[in-house]
Structure 1
C-alpha cells in the first residue's frame, strides 16, 4: 500500500502595530508563548471523550482474546482475469487476477471468533468455502488445524472446530436492541496486519445488498447490520461488538468500488448467525423453516392497490403453497408482522421466520386489500422447488409480435395467444393475451417479462387484446397499475407499478 507523507504548514502573517497584539520585539523576548495561557478544552468534554475511549478499550479487551485469524489454502485452479463481484474482498479474490495454472496452492485469510471453550468457531461461509486446508491462529499465537463443521451459503455463516480446551470465548449479545447511531467496534485480522480494532456506528439495519443471490444460494437471506466501522479484506468472519464487548454481528461484506474500505460495511446479525450455528453444530446442515410463499418488498404502488397504511410489509407475490396455502393465505396478501414482530419488508419476514424451527407455530398479521387479519400456521422445512428449478432452466418461450396491442402507459406490448404459443408456454387453452415485449425504459421494466399471460389489469379481466386496450385506456397517468399474470411455469403473480405519466 502506497503511503504519501505531506508536510503540513501554517502560513503566518506578520501585522505591524499594536492591533496585532504582538511585535517582532515581543517574539524575540519570548519566542515560545505560554501554553498554559491558551484556551483549554472544557473539562467536561475531555472527560466525556476519555469515557468513550475507556469504553472502546474495555470492549476491545473483553472480546479480542476470543477473536482468531483464519488462514485457508486451496489448490490452484485456472481463473480468468475478471474478478466476479461476489468474490471481491474475499480470500479468493487473488485467484481471479490473471494467475493461471501452477502447483502452488492459493492462500487467503479471514477472521473468526470462539463461541465455546472446546473449540467451536464462527466465521463466514465465503472464508472457508472451497478450502482444502483451514488453520486457526489464536490471539496467543497458538496455531491449530481446523475442520469445517458446516456451512450455509444462504446466510454466509460457517462453523469450524479445533481440538483444544479451555479456550477464551466471546460473549454473544442481542442485535435486536441495536439502534441506528449506536457505537460498534469491528475486530479481526484485516490485510494481514494482525489484531485490529476499528470503531464506527450502526448506520442502518435490515440492509440487503444482493450479494448472496450472485453466489448461487438457493434461499438467500440478507438482513445486514450496516456500519461505518472500517472493514477490509481479512475482517470477514470477525465480530462486530457493542460497547460492552458483546458480539452483535459477523463482519461479512463491504460496498466498495475498489475492494477496500469505502465507508460501508455489513455484518450478519448474531441472532440469525447463532440460530444457523446451532443447526450446523448439531447436524452439519441448516433446517430452514418456510411458510410456503414467495415474497417481495411492498412499494408505494402496492400501498395504493392493497390499501396499506404505509408502503411496508412483504407482499405474497405468487400463489401460496404448503403451510401458507393450508392457512388460507392468498396471492396479494401483505404480511406485516410475525408473532408481533414488525415486518417492514421481505428481509424482516425471512429473518423472523428463520429464528424459528420447522414444526413451530407462528402467527402472521396480514392485510388483504385493506382488511387486517390474523393467520396461524405451522412451519415446514424448506426444500428446493424442483418445479421452479425446471422452469428456470427452460428456454425463454418464443413469442412473436403479431397483431400486438401497444398500451404505452402500461409499458408493455402483448399479442393473442395462439396454439403454438400455448404449446410453448404449456397453457391449457389457446386463449388470452401474452406479453411479447416490455419497454426497457418504461414503468414495467424489471417487473414484467415476455411470456407472461395477462389475466387482470386493475381488477378487470383480460381475455383479448380489446380487453387489454380498454383496461389501458382507463388508467390515468401516474396511477398505480395492478397486473395479475400467469408465469411460464404456471404460477400466478401480481405486479403493481405506476403508469407512465
Structure 2
C-alpha cells in the first residue's frame, strides 16, 4: 500500500469552505411596543465553515470534488500536501451526479491517474484518501463491497436527472473524506468518496463512492462549458420486480420498467409504451436503472440509440421489440435526469377488494377540480391498503405519500370502483396484474406502472 500512497497523496487536496449566513434578529424584549421603532436590531451575519477533500486532475490546477462540498460556498480554499494554500473558484457543479470542479491558479502540479470504474470487481482492494474529521491526508484500506448501490438523499433532491450508481466500500470514510479519491492498487482513481451509511454520522463500515467514469464525463463538460449537457430518452423508469418479469414473459429478473413519458418524449414517439421492460441499449444488456442512466448519460443529444424492450401484447407475453430513439438534451435543472365469487371478490365501492387487498373510492368532483385533473387523470383513489396484502408497499394512501389514483387495470381503463373491481375479477388467481397509477402528492403528478400478484 505504501507505494500506492506515495504516488497518490501529492495529488490529493484539503478543501475548506466558508459561507455567510444571516442570523435571526434578537427579539426586543423589555421594550414597550410603542418604542420599538426607535431601535434597530440588525442581525449579525454568521460565518459557517466546512471541509472536504478533492484531487488534482490537471497540472494547471483543475480539481475534482463533490458538489455538496462546495455548494453555496462564498469562499473556497485548497491546501496541498506541501502546505501551500490557494483560493479556489468554482468552475461548475452538477447536482445530478454530486460532482464539482474547482480551479486554483498554479502550475506544474502533481495529478492523479484515472482508472476505469467499469472494470472494478467486488472484492478488489482499494484505498480511500482524504481529510476525515480534520485529520488531513489520511489513508484507509478496504475492499469493494458492492456496485450499483442507490443512496437516496445524497444527490440534490431537486435534481430531476439524478444518476445513482455508487461503489460501496468498507474502507473507512468519515465526514471530511467527501470529494477525495478511492484508488486501486495501481494508484488509479476509480471513484470519488461521497457518503457513508451510519446511525451515528461517522464510519460504521459502509462507504460510497461515485464511479470515476461517470464523474469524469461530468467533469469534462464542467471544464469545457461550466455545466453538464445530459442526453435523455424522455422516460420515467424504475427497477424491475419479479411480477414485472412474469407479466411480460421474461425468464430473468433483469431490465428497467418504463413508467411514463414526459411531454415531447422521443422514446414515446419512437414506439415505447408504459410497462415496457427495457432489456438492452445498442445490444448491451441492461440490468438496472443506474446502468441505463449511465449508458444514456455518456451519449450526446442528437445521437440515436437502439432500445430493445420486452412487452405483453394482448394475451401474448414475451414480445420483443426494438426502436431507434434520437436522444434529446435534458432540460436545465440548475446544473450550474388479484378468486371466483366468494365474499372477498364481491367488494362494493368503499369496501376492501380481496384479490389485491385495496379499498378504492371515486375521486370527489371538488377534489378533481382543485387538483385540475384532466379526464385522462381521473380514476379511483386508493383509500386503504391491507397490511401485508398483495398491494402493500406498492400502492399508497393519502397518509403514506399518496394519494394514488388507479387509472387502468391491465389494458382496461377504470374510472369507478365498480369498473376497477370488474377488471380485477377477471384476472386469474396467482396471476400478475398491471396497474397504471397516478400519484397526486406534490406539485407535479407522477404516473407509474405497478405490477401486483393477485391472490
> TM-score, normalising length from structure 2?
0.83
Moved more, 449-458 or 203-212: 449-458
Cα distance in 2 for partners of 1:196, 1:251 equals 13
Instruction: Give 1:493 shift.
Output: 3.6
| Residue in 2 that maps onto 1:289 | 231
1:410 aligns with 2:365: no
| Residue in 2 that maps onto 1:375 | 323
| Residue in 2 that maps onto 1:498 | 453
Choose the corresponding residue for 2:87, options 126, 136, 145.
Answer: 145
Instruction: Give 1:375 shift.
Output: 2.0
Secondary structure of the corresponding residue to residue 307 of structure 2? strand
Residues 77, 262 of structure 1: CA spacing in aligned structure 2 closer, same or farther, 3 A cutoff?
Answer: farther
1:222 aligns with 2:168: no
8 Å contact kept, 2:349–2:418: no
Backbone CA RMSD of aligned residues: 2.6
Choose the corresponding residue for 2:75, options 122, 127, 133.
Answer: 133
8 Å contact kept, 2:380–2:417: no
Cα distance in 1 for partners of 2:384, 2:427 equals 18
Instruction: Give 1:199 shift.
Output: 0.9
| Residue in 1 that maps onto 2:336 | none
| Residue in 1 that maps onto 2:242 | 300
Cα distance in 2 for partners of 1:121, 1:492 equals 40
- Which structure would you say has the larger RCO, counting Cα contacts within 8 Å and 6 or more residues apart? 2
Residues 64, 429 of structure 1: CA spacing in aligned structure 2 closer, same or farther, 3 A cutoff?
Answer: closer
Larger radius of gyration: 1
Instruction: Give 1:319 shift.
Output: 3.6
| Residue in 2 that maps onto 1:322 | 265
| 1:119-171: CA deviation from partner (whole Å, max 9, x where unpaired) | 00000011111111111011111110000001111111000000000100000
Instruction: Give 1:409 shift.
Output: 3.1
| Residue in 2 that maps onto 1:62 | 7
1:333 aligns with 2:285: no
1:75 aligns with 2:27: no
Instruction: Give 1:410 shift.
Output: 1.7
Residues 367, 244 of structure 1: CA spacing in aligned structure 2 closer, same or farther, 3 A cutoff?
Answer: same
- Equivalent residues in 2 for 1:18-417, closer than 5 Å: 56-77=1-22, 103-212=45-154, 215-319=157-261, 321-369=264-312, 370-383=318-331, 403-416=349-362
Choose the corresponding residue for 2:421, options 469, 489, 497.
Answer: 469
Instruction: Give 1:333 shift.
Output: 1.1
Cα distance in 1 for partners of 2:328, 2:107 equals 37
Residues 433, 145 of structure 1: CA spacing in aligned structure 2 closer, same or farther, 3 A cutoff?
Answer: closer
Cα distance in 2 for partners of 1:110, 1:415 equals 51
Instruction: Give 1:423 shift.
Output: 3.0
Residues 213, 483 of structure 1: CA spacing in aligned structure 2 closer, same or farther, 3 A cutoff?
Answer: farther
- Equivalent residues in 2 for 1:4-15, closer than 5 Å: none
Q: How many residues align?
A: 408
Instruction: Give 1:360 shift.
Output: 1.9
8 Å contact kept, 2:358–2:386: no
Instruction: Give 1:78 shift.
Output: 5.1
Cα distance in 1 for partners of 2:98, 2:295 equals 17
| Residue in 1 that maps onto 2:394 | 447
Secondary structure of the corresponding residue to residue 409 of structure 1? coil
8 Å contact kept, 1:315–1:334: yes
Residues 185, 426 of structure 1: CA spacing in aligned structure 2 closer, same or farther, 3 A cutoff?
Answer: same
| Residue in 1 that maps onto 2:342 | none
Moved more, 200-209 or 439-448: 439-448
8 Å contact kept, 2:124–2:144: yes
Q: Which sections of structure 2, spanning at least 5 residues, go unmatched?
A: 25-42, 313-317, 334-347, 397-401
> TM-score, normalising length from structure 1?
0.75
| Residue in 1 that maps onto 2:315 | none
Residues 302, 277 of structure 1: CA spacing in aligned structure 2 closer, same or farther, 3 A cutoff?
Answer: same
Instruction: Give 1:334 shift.
Output: 1.1
Moved beyond 6 Å, runs of 4+: none
8 Å contact kept, 1:414–1:433: no
| 1:312-357: CA deviation from partner (whole Å, max 9, x where unpaired) | 1111101464211222111111112222333211111111111112
8 Å contact kept, 2:361–2:383: no
Instruction: Give 1:230 shift.
Output: 0.7
Instruction: Give 1:492 shift.
Output: 5.0
Residues 430, 419 of structure 1: CA spacing in aligned structure 2 closer, same or farther, 3 A cutoff?
Answer: farther
Instruction: Give 1:468 shift.
Output: 2.3
Higher strand share: 2
Instruction: Give 1:290 shift.
Output: 0.7
Cα distance in 1 for partners of 2:282, 2:352 equals 46
Higher helix share: 1
| Residue in 2 that maps onto 1:87 | none
8 Å contact kept, 1:152–1:285: yes
| 1:204-239: CA deviation from partner (whole Å, max 9, x where unpaired) | 111101124664323221110111111111110000
Cα distance in 2 for partners of 1:373, 1:262 equals 46
Secondary structure of the corresponding residue to residue 10 of structure 2? helix
